Structure 1
């Protein structure tokens, strides 16, 4: 299924929401420190053997945490990457705008993320379809794609699958990425990833659950 076409008003809502997705800097940010998030959290496992490589944010607010395979560096990874972000909800006016169009926040957010990926790809972007679903009771939208030329860090392209989850109190954005190591690696596959590896990432997304919210169980320590 292709990306859902949005009305002009909904597109304006997309643009406003997209501004919330990048990590906001601030004096109170804890850079590179590992902490236990407080409040509602998304529980999702990285692929087996992957390690935490980076964490930044506030225990009671927005944060980002990255995972990498063994022996991969944060600034030059190739095999894979996993990023998890916790985000605050947009303001009430934007939420009302989205609801009035029979959409939810993940649908709008993932559509804008994918449109941004296509705009920012210096080469050819091969999109995946958008899937709007419910994951263990969590409204979710999933999409992705592959850019065949993504700059000096990924000269042979970079692919990703991205999911946005709408909790009761927070939004969560999860991204899995991959970069071919050579010009011809996995060229027989449209998104330069084996079906088995892509399915592994989708299975991990399908296993996500919420904890720590008002009507949710406590998060494991």
Structure 2
């Protein structure tokens, strides 16, 4: 199985719980389309965004990417969305996390933020971490903005990421954005308008599970 790495700075940081695969050689690829089986996360992309990439195992780990209609993986600016389904870590690690009265999403997002701040070559502005239930799913959400990220994002990149803990799987959702100019939306700490950020958060808050124990059948 081959899956694509998360795009951007917050992408390389789920090392404690989620082992991310190497990136694809191609910047833009369709992968292969399939209908996942088993427990799945139902979440909608922003209106008008297209399915840009899908790959993985219908019965196991997979990744799905969405982009605005005229964007490409190697040059996107307006936005990017990634949804990944991941196998739980080994039982000993899960038990250790629960013994500390924590959830896997809490630990995963905390690790993401620590590594993201260390890896940002410029100034990193973190978001607070929110640990809650989303439609009865243990969830942790955080993110931030790095103001310098190299040739692909010369004016920086922001992301908001959520980790959802299902009954059988972990699900990771990431929304990202990149300013197109040095001064675009500079009046906002994360270089995104509050209304647009809220749109991403509303989509995260509407996520539900299907296909797992007592979760109902997933739509085709």
TM-score in terms of structure 2 length: 0.89
The answer to whether the 8 Å contact 1:144/1:161 transfers is yes
Note the aligned Cα RMSD (angstroms).
1.3
Q: Could you tell me which residue of structure 2 aligns to residue 69 of structure 1?
A: 68
Residue 166 (structure 2) pairs with residue 172 (structure 1): no
For residues 82-101 of structure 1, what are the alpha-carbon distances to aligned partners after superposition, in whole Å with 9 as ceiling and x for unaligned? 00000000001001110111
- Structure 2 SS opposite 1:48: coil
The answer to whether the 8 Å contact 1:23/1:63 transfers is no
Runs of 4+ more than 3 Å apart: none
Q: Could you tell me which residue of structure 2 aligns to residue 188 of structure 1?
A: 187
- Structure 1 SS opposite 2:200: helix
The answer to whether the 8 Å contact 2:139/2:164 transfers is yes
The alignment covers a number of residue pairs equal to 201
Shift in Å at residue 185 of structure 1? 0.3
Question: Unpaired segments of 5 or more residues in structure 2?
Answer: 1-13, 24-29
- Structure 2 SS opposite 1:210: strand
What is the rounded CA distance, in whole Å, between the counterparts of 1:174 and 1:93 in structure 2? 25
Shift in Å at residue 74 of structure 1? 1.2
The answer to whether the 8 Å contact 2:157/2:178 transfers is yes
* Mapping 1:29-178, distance limit 5 Å: 32-178=31-177
For residues 22-66 of structure 1, what are the alpha-carbon distances to aligned partners after superposition, in whole Å with 9 as ceiling and x for unaligned? 1379xxxxx700110010000000000000001111000000100
